[in-house]
Amino acid sequence: MDAVAEMLRASTSLRADPESAASAGNPANAAKAANAASGTWIMGTSLGGCLAALFAANAVAFEDAAGPAVRGIVLLAPAFRPYYLPLGEMIDMAFHLGNRAKTYATPVARGIRICADDVRQQALGADPLGTPGFDARSHLWAQVLIAKSEFQLRRVRVPVLCFQGDHDRVVDAKHNEKLIASHRCGHFEWVRGGFHDLQAEPDIDEFGTRLARRLLDTGDQGWA
């Protein structure tokens, strides 16, 4: 009951003052408030964005006369086309699919900046629970998931909101912009000064506030 009360309070606060609701912390607060007000929104970042798209594409099986099982999806720098891996390493993976000991570094481990805040960037690099790299087979399965999610995005019948930083060096933002623009319910927005990990920095380019407003504006749209 406490969780329900929190969602209702967030929803009321968001409609009255989107800025204060969005700045309360992670942009997920905005999605949580919109869920309380207008149905379930699914949000995913990077590879999680691909998972969100897959979930929404297959949620049509649970639709009924009452409405869609998912109200919409929010994709934060979805990894539909990652490009941080050098071509030589991608070729090398093909010869080491069975070698679980050989790993390929993540963007953070490569020193690629994923957020503007220096303290946050250093903390991610020093996180003892972080994974510095993945083996070739893990990368292969990730590519399979990415390919499936991009192909099935066309089956998503609810609004698709996509935000991406113009300094993202992990996934191809131009590709995402074109992909979302081709979707019948797609909407893409650039986050000026934003890197890959947008949810870590909700105040960049008023991103948190913009997300909160967009969720409310889009919440009552019908099916495509």
Model pLDDT for residues 159-209, shown as the tens digit of each residue: 999 999 999 999 999 999 999 999 999 999 999 999 999 988 878 888 888
Distances (CA, A) of 19 to 102, 187, 203: 46, 21, 10
What's the distance, CA 3 to chain centroid? 23
pLDDT digits (tens, 9 = 90+) for 79-118: 999 999 999 999 999 999 999 999 999 999 999 999 998 9
Inter-residue contact 10 to 29 (CB < 8 Å): yes
What's the one-letter identity of residue 110? R
H-only helix segments in 63-135: 87-93, 118-126
Give the C-alpha distances (Å, rounded to integers) separating 104 from 3, 68, 206, 224. 40, 40, 34, 40
Task: Decide: 41 and 31 in contact? Cβ < 8 Å.
Answer: yes
pTM equals: 0.79
Stronger pLDDT, 219 or 159, i.e. the higher one: 159
Which of residues 195 and 6 earns the better pLDDT score?
Answer: 195
Distance, in Å, from the CA atom of 161 to the CA atom of 23, rounded to the nearest integer, reads: 19
Residue with the two structure tokens 């991610």: 124
Cα(100)–Cα(224) distance, rounded to whole angstroms? 44
pLDDT of 12 > 50? The answer is: no
Q: Is the pLDDT of residue 17 over 80?
A: no
% of the chain with per-residue pLDDT over 70: 76
Strand order in the sheet with 72-76: 41-45, 72-76, 160-165, 186-191
Please, which pLDDT band fits residue 63 given cuts at 50, 70 and 90? low
Residue-wise pLDDT for 131-149, tens only, equals 899 999 999 999 999 999 9
User: What residues contact 152, with CB distance under 8 A and at least 6 apart?
Assistant: 53, 54, 57, 58
Q: Give the lowest-confidence range in 15-19, 53-57, 123-127, 159-163.
A: 15-19
Half-sphere exposure for 67 (CA within 13 Å, toward CB): 11
Question: What number does CATH give the domain 43-84+131-201?
Answer: 3.40.50.1820
Domain boundaries, the chain: 43-84+131-201
Instruction: Give residue 28's pLDDT band: very low, low, confident or very high (50, 70, 90).
Output: low
Element (H, E) at 159: none
Surface-to-core class of residue 52, CB atoms within 10 Å of its CB (0-12 exposed, 13-18 middle, 19+ buried): buried
